[in-house]
Structures are given as C-alpha cells and as structure tokens.
Structure 1
Amino acid sequence: MAQQKLLALVVSIWACMWGLFPVEGTYYGHHIYNSHVIGHRMPSHAAPRPYGSMDNQLPPEPHAPEVSPRAPEVSGGTDMSGLPEVSGAPEMQQTVNVSRVYFGVMFDAGSTGTRVHIYKFIQKDPVALPVLDNEMYHAVKPGLSAYADKPDMGGDTIRQLLKVAKKTVPKSEWKQTPVILKATAGLRLLPEEKARALLDEVKEVFEESPFFVPNNSVSLMNGTNEGVLAWVTVNFLTGHLYAKTRKTVGILDLGGGSTQITFLPKSKKTVHTAPPSYIARFNLFNSTYELYTHSYLGNGLVAARLATLGALGADGLDWKVFTSSCLPKKFREDWTFGGLTYKVSGVPDGYAGYKLCYYEVMRVVKGVVHQPYEVKGSSIFYAFSYYYDRAVESGLIDGSRGGVVEVRDFKKKAKEVCNKMTKYRPISPFLCMDMTYITCLLKEGFGFKDSTVLQLAKKINNAETSWALGATFDHFNNFNIH
C-alpha cells in the first residue's frame, strides 16, 4: 500500500531548449511519470506544508507496478496566443487527485539571454509530499546586460516573458505565485550603477505584474550559489540526491561571462588544498553537503573571447581592431557583447591555426584557474551550456542525444576546426577560438587528464540542465548556503 501511495506521487520534469528574441520558441512539458518527489516548504504567504524525510523520498522499488507510457510533448510556436493551457493532461488527472496546485516563476538573467522557468507543484493532501508536476520554459535574446544604457528596453524583455507566465499560470493563482529573477555574470561584469539600474527596472516591472513579489525577488546571484544550485539540479535529475550512498556527479557549467566547477569531494586532500572560499556547505533534504565549488568571472566563453583578443576592458573601441590567430585570416566584422561593439579580425598577413591559437588562449587560463586535487581521478562530470553547444556545432556529438566524450576528443576536434577554418566559418568564425579555449580550460585550467570522461547534456530526463530548478528548490526550502 505504501508503494502504491508513493507511486501515485511519482512524476517527471519536462523542460526544453532556449528560444530567441523576440519570440522564437516556447516549450511546455506536461506531467510525466517516473520522476522524483520533492521535499518542499511552502512560502510564508501560503499554507504550511510538512517536510519529508530522505527515506520517504526514495524512488519506487524495482518490483513496483509498471507506470503508464509517457505523454507526448507539447511545444508552442511563435504565436503567443497558441500557448497551451496549464490544466493537466487526462493521464495526469487519472493518476493524481489534485487538491492543491501552486506555481513558481524563476527568471535566469544570463549574459547572452534571459530565460523564464515556470514550475508547477501539486500538494495532494495536507500530509503528503508536494510533487513537481511540470515546467514551462521560454527564452529571449540578447541578455539584460545588452541594455546597460537602456534599462527601460531591458524591462520590456521581462514584460514579454511575464506574458508567457500569465498564459501558463491560471489567473486564480497569480496573486500567490512568486516571481524571482536572479542575474548572473552578464550583470556582474557591468559597472555597479548600470547593473543596479537594470535590476531596479526589473523590480518595477515585477511590481506592475499581478504576481506575488517576495522580498529580494530581484538580485545579482553570486558565482558560488550558481555552481551549487546547478549541482543540485543535475544530481536531482539524475536521482543521486535520493541515494544513501551519497554517490553524486560533478558539474561543469560554461556560460558567456563565467564558468563554474562543482563536485562533492571524495578526498580530504581536495578540501585541505583548496582555497577556503572554494568550499561551500549547505543543507539539502535533511542532509548537509560540503562541496568544492568556484565560479570564474571573466572566464565564460564570450568573455574569454574578449580576453584572448585583448579587448576586455579596452578603450578606443571606435577605431581599434582586435586581431587573433584563432580567427580566419580574411575575417573582419563588428561584434557586440554586453552592449559594446568591437572590431575584430583575423591576421591577414600572418598565420592561423591550432598551435598559435592555443598559445593565445593559454594566457587567459594559465595561473588563473585553480586545479583541484581530485579531478585527476575518476570522478564523473556532467558538462553543459557552451560545452554542449560547441560540441554540437563542431560535430563532436549529436545535438538530439548529447553524448559521452573524453577531454582528448575536444582537443582533436579543436585541431580539426582550427586547421580547416574555411570549412567551419559558416557555422561560426569563432568556433576555432571557442573549441581551443574549452580544451585549454579543461586541460591547463582545471587539470583534467586527456582520458577524463565528460557527459555532455543539455537536458536530463527531458529537463533543462540549469541552476534555475535548484534555485527554485532553494527558495522554498532554504538550503542555507555558506
């Protein structure tokens, strides 16, 4: 009976891929079977809910009755009026007797785009654990940092995403559904006054909306929390948070402005040899974790391009041309990032290729990135964001399935791309630089061996690999990260 009751609570998380500004794609995932139960504390404006123990959060035993097949995914097009309604699929209504439904809206304001994740939770009865039923995801480009001098235009992108939330969350739930925005490296790289102006504009937009605006609803998230919460998301989706063995996977997240590494150390030497600020402790589902985690601001993929070109923080952008052997010889164009435009070029009368490019990007990595003792071992790491995107673009992995690669595979592909720049230029003139930087970051930066295996994934069990899910858990549960 206990197993049947637990099985009735089992769901899965659907999420989908990024869209483009102004509206390129909206994705919606309905309740699916075979997921994880979440211990969840309701916000102060809602009725209190009980905590769950680790024991009663374990997945069903192997001999539990087979669950129904997955429902088909529903994806929206460019017509906002065609967004699917939130009411559950017939299968969900037959499986779960919903007595309380509530939502959370999490905005991820990244350096290259702003994304909204709309999570739907179900509380079946006062003594049962809440369940994450589904997730709606939508994205716009460029990111908020592109509007550093025009914060009102940045606010308009948030209004657009709030329309998606209003289409997804039933009107009766608006007043008690929290809206939260956390900005990452794109705004951390801006002057403080410009970042503050953007965040203030977002707060005003939130206040105009019909949703619940909690205290500190708009904030600049520090890099440590970004890494920890991404680790929570990936280990939740892979089921490792429910195993009593505490066997977990590490994460490598490569954004546009910053990059994060986070893992649960197996060796005390890793902790003892790490800078004190690289160790984070937090409470999660009735357990305390001590992670190695660090975020390198300025070492995200796009910021690393600027550093490689010698353009990061440079003046004279109206007339200076920044060159690199990582770019095709005849390439020259204006390139915009963070609201600034740079003139970039290959070296017309010089040389180009992998060796020269590797030497250039080495200066961005060497001596900057700490090498944790343990990564030279056999730890399992999931790599996502630009690690995944560039691996797909270069043909290293299949975009629909992801894949398992070794660090040496990035090196081999980087050499191929750099030595055949003309072939790969239509994909991206920066592909040689990006693949070489990823190779250098993994090898010279973090110190991974050529044989280290990386699991490249954009989604896990149909859910987006992002810190947003972990941040939503943190909002409701208070992990007390320090």
Structure 2
Amino acid sequence: MKPTVLLLLLVLLAVSGPSRAQVRSSHLDLPRILPSLSRPANHSRIFYAVMFDAGSTGTRIHVYTFIQNGSEKLPVLDNEMFHSTKPGLSAYADSPETAGETVRRLLKVAKKAVPRLDWKRTPLVLRATAGLRLLPVEKAQALLDQVQHVFDESPFLVPDNSVSIMDGTNEGILAWISLNFLTGHLNANTKKTVGILDLGGGSTQITFLPKLKKTVETAPVADFVARLDFFNSTFELYSHSYLGNGIMAARLAALGALGVEGLEWRVFKSSCLPNKFRDEWSFGGLTYQVSGDPDGHAGYKHCYQEVLKVVKGIIHQPCELEDSNVFFAFSYYFDRAVDAGLIGGAQGGMLQVRDFKKRAKEVCNKMTKFPPISSFLCMDLAYITCLLKDGFGFKDSTVLQLTKKVNNVEASWALGAMLDHFQSLKIR
C-alpha cells in the first residue's frame, strides 16, 4: 500500500469514530451522565419507607415510594405497595414467636418492592394500635420484642424506637394528615380540610379542624385538642381516640363479655344475633361462646338498646359536625357498608348516616327469615348507627365519604406516620 493511501486511511479512522479504548470509557461514563430509568430526569431524589400497621384484627405492611423535589417541599407519593394478613399480633399473645414469623413473612413484600441497593437506607417501622393497648403490659412487650428481633435481622434501616405501641390520639392525628395529604389540603394556603372517622377493631378515632372556638372550649379535657405544626401552618385539631369502642371491642361490651372469666362454660346471648344462632367467636386471642336469644327477643329495637350502653356517656359530642366539615370514614365503616350492600367494594361512595340506620333495621328485623352473610352484621350496623348518632352526634342527613383508598393509597394513619418520620412533624 502506498504511503499516501495509508495516511488517508488513518485520517479517516480518526475522524469517523473513537478508538476501542474511548468506546469502553464512554460506556462506563453513561450512568454518571444520564439519569437511570428509575429516576426522574431532573435528578429528584427517590426514597422508600416501610410501615407496619399492627392492628387488632390484622397486620398490614405499607411500602411507600416517595419523590423529593426539594428539601422545603412535601415529598410526592409516587406509589404504595400494600399487603395484609389476619389475625392481628394480639392473637399470638401466648406465642409471641408466631407473631415474629408473621412479620418476617410480610417483610418479603418489602424486599420485592424496594430495590436491593436501597435496603440499607429504607426505614423500617412498626406501630401497634388498640390490639396491643388492650393486652397486659408484659404480653404486649413480649410481642414487641419479637418484632424488634425480626427487624434487627432484616437488611433495612431500623431507626430508634422503630417498634412501639402508638398513642390513640396520635393515631387519629396521623390519619388526618394522611387523608388531607392525599386530598391536597396540606399547604400554607389551606382553607378547607377534611375530617376523619376511623373505626378499628379495638378503638375508634375522630379528628377534624374546628372552625368555632366553642368546639375547643367545650371539649371535655385538654387531650381532646392537639396542636399540629406543619411547615408554615399550625392546625389546632379536635381529636380523640376511644379505646374499647372499636367494632370488635364493642361486640364484647354489648355481649357483656368484657373481663369475664370462665369462658369455656359461659354462653353470651344477644338480641343482635339470629335466634337459633350459636357459635364460637374469637378476638384478642380469646374464644367466646355466643348465641342469639332463644326467647325470641331479637330485632333492631332490642339490638340498639344493647349497643347504646357501649356508647352512652362515653362518646363526647363535639360542636359543628353537621355541615362545616367533609368527613372521610374508613376501616370498618367502609367494610361493613360493603357487607351491607350500601356501597361497592372498589370505589366506595357517599352515604348519609340514615343509610346505615335504614339498612340496620332491614338486616336486624329480617335475620330470622333471611340470615345475613355475617351473623354479626345486625350488631355491627346497629353499633355504627348508634356511634354516629348517639355517640358523635351526627344528624341523619350528614353525608360521609366512605373510602378504602384515596388515589390508590390505603386510607389509614400509616402514611401520616411516615410523613411524621420524614418531616419531623411536631405533635403535642
């Protein structure tokens, strides 16, 4: 080959592309130059959080994916992975190791949802609610110790105080934060917010932002009012949790079975159950023999008197509930409305308080001829009606938003608890 031709080829190669070494170097630099597919192009930070809700009737895991666009702003919730299992941890009060295994199995959900490289910086938190609050202290602590052991073995970030029993008032406040975050009402210019009604197995919560000073001034004691400092806003909330007024605990109270010994030979009768009904029912690790009233005292009127004693003199009626707030009702409010055919199980819907009352009458007065899907449906619907009307003081015409999810995220306190963790909310 002539020298001039060889020189021309070398020049063409130099102009047409990089050398093999340069190509290798460029491939190595690509991840540093270009954002990965899992990250937004503006380099917003993606982070994850795992929250366990240890309730009285089940344990739920929430795996959240957040996008943080700036340190001064609320993070954007990008996704939630949710899974639940029954029964709750309190059912294993006499075998805490089994409770630990329940949590270990649920952790597999988190390992699938969170990228392996992010495990070490993803906080892992469990908060227990009324189920453990109702247990003797030593039994509740044994369950918490087992969960802590499982957490410490996990590959996730386990912060201080990662496993604990949550105060009931905080449960209501954190649920309020969750629902108002999901509905876009948490910002410095907030003029309207939504109230929350949460009906669990062991306790029930009500939280809303009062518009009248009278609501705060007439609260029974100081712990019905909580001040929440949130970025540039301060909210003075009416909030209270009633331990023992969750739907399962209310069944116990209505049956007269609270704290009773000799369960193996006692049968607890109720006019809220079908006349010929007799079966076993378990809650909180204990099993009860329950039956209808064989003497025929059944139906809505008799049942309502039974559940009224669980509410009367216990639930405080705050002011201004009728028209000043939109209330979201979830947990067992939603579940029993679905069971009763009042709303669909997918989207939920708007109900008036009188809708619960009407369906409770229909179920209770016909359960001898047409047994309901659940033997406790009459009692549960009568209790919800009584709690809303004679308890909190809602009018028949009050409209409630029954929901299980908002923007595909579970309606619960769990999201608020994670926002509390990340944003260091001051609740006092």
Provide the TM-score with structure 2 as the length reference.
0.88
Q: Does residue 100 of the first structure (1) align with residue 73 of the second (2)?
A: no
Q: Which has the larger radius of gyration?
A: 2
Q: Residues 384 and 124 from structure 1, CA distance in 2 versus in 1: closer, same or farther, beyond 3 angstroms?
A: closer
Which residue of 2 is the match for residue 463 of structure 1?
409
SS at match of 1:242: coil
Find the residue that maps to 1:314 and give its secondary structure: coil
CA deviations 1:225-274 (Å, max 9, x no partner) are 00000001111111111372421111100000000000000000000000
- Corresponding residue for 1:212? 157
Contact 2:211 2:324 in 1 (8 A): no
Q: What is the aligned partner in structure 2 of residue 51 from structure 1?
A: none
Q: What are the equivalent positions in structure 2 for 1:61-140 lying under 5 Å apart?
A: 96-98=41-43, 100-123=45-68, 130-140=75-85
Aligned position for 2:314: 368
**CA distance 1:470–1:416, shift in 2 (3 Å):** same
Determine helix, strand or coil for the equivalent of 1:210. Answer: coil
The code of the aligned residue for 1:178 comes to P
What do the CA deviations read for 1:314-351 (whole angstroms, capped 9, x no partner)? 11101000000000011101111000000000011222
1:385 is aligned to 2:331: yes
Partner of 2:253: 307
Q: Deviations over 1:12-35 (max 9, x none)?
A: xxxxxxxxxxxxxxxxxxxxxxxx
- Which sits farther off after the overlay, 147-156 or 421-430? 421-430
Give the deviation of 1:89 after TM superposition.
12
Change (3 A) 1:329 1:470: same
Paired position in structure 2 for 1:234: 179
- Distance of 2:371 and 2:124 partners within structure 1: 41
Report how far residue 132 of structure 1 moved.
Answer: 2.3
- From the superposition, tell whether residues 340 and 126 of structure 1 become closer, same or farther in structure 2 (CA, over 3 Å): closer
Of 370-379 and 197-206, the range deviating more from structure 2: 370-379
The match for 1:55 is: none
- Is residue 322 from structure 1 mapped to residue 268 from structure 2 by the alignment? yes
1:225 has 2:151 as partner? no
The structure 1 residue matched to 2:105, chosen from 160, 180, 195, is: 160
What is the aligned partner in structure 2 of residue 14 from structure 1? none
How far did 1:146 drift?
A: 0.3
Counterpart secondary structure, 1:382: strand
* 1:453 equivalenced with 2:399 (yes/no): yes
Q: 1:409-420 to 2 correspondence within 5 Å?
A: 409-420=355-366
Sequence identity percentage: 69
Change (3 A) 1:89 1:356: farther
Q: Which residue of 1 aligns with 2:32?
A: none
More displaced 10-residue stretch of structure 1: 299-308 or 346-355: 346-355
Residue in 2 that maps onto 1:143: 88
Q: Structure 1, residues 354-391: CA drift from partner, whole Å, max 9, x if none?
A: 00000110100000001102224442111111111111
Alpha-carbon distance change, 345 to 115 in structure 1, aligned in 2, over 3 angstroms:
same
Q: Unaligned regions of 5+ residues in structure 1, if any?
A: 1-87
Quick one: distance in 2 between partners of 1:318 and 1:251? Answer: 39
Shift, 1:429, TM fit: 0.2
Structure 2 residue 301 is matched with structure 1 residue 358: no
**Secondary structure at 1:434's aligned position in 2?**
helix
User: Residue type matched to 2:416 in 1?
Assistant: G
Equivalent residue in structure 1 for 2:139, among 194, 201, 215: 194
Classify 1:116/1:350 alpha carbon distance in 2 versus 1 (closer, same or farther; 3 Å).
same
Whole-angstrom distance in 1 between the partners of 2:296 and 2:341: 28
Displacement of 1:172: 1.1
Q: Partner letter of residue 304 of structure 2?
A: Y
Root-mean-square deviation over aligned CA pairs: 1.9
The answer as to 2:376 corresponding to 1:421 is no
Q: Which residue of 2 aligns with 1:76?
A: none
The aligned residue for residue 256 of structure 1 is 201
SS at match of 1:400: coil
Q: Which residue of 2 aligns with 1:401?
A: 347
After TM superposition, the structure 1 = structure 2 runs for residues 21-40 of structure 1, keeping only pairs within 5 Å, are none
Pick one of 333, 346, 351 that aligns with 2:292: 346
| Equivalent residue number for residue 5 of structure 2 | none
What is the CA–CA distance in structure 1 between the aligned matches of 2:199 and 2:105, rounded to whole Å? 26
Counting matched residue pairs gives 393
Cα distance in structure 2, aligned partners of 1:166 and 1:376 = 45
The more displaced of 281-290 and 358-367 is 281-290
Q: Is the 8 A contact 2:263 2:288 kept in 1?
A: yes
State the AA in 1 paired with 2:274: P
Residues 127, 149 of structure 1: CA spacing in aligned structure 2 closer, same or farther, 3 A cutoff? Answer: closer
CA drift of 1:301 comes to 0.3
Q: Compared with structure 1, are the counterparts of its residues 250 and 127 closer, same or farther at alpha carbon in structure 2 (3 Å cutoff)? A: closer
Q: Aligned-pair distance for 1:129?
A: 6.7
- 1:272 alignment partner, one of 211, 214, 217: 217
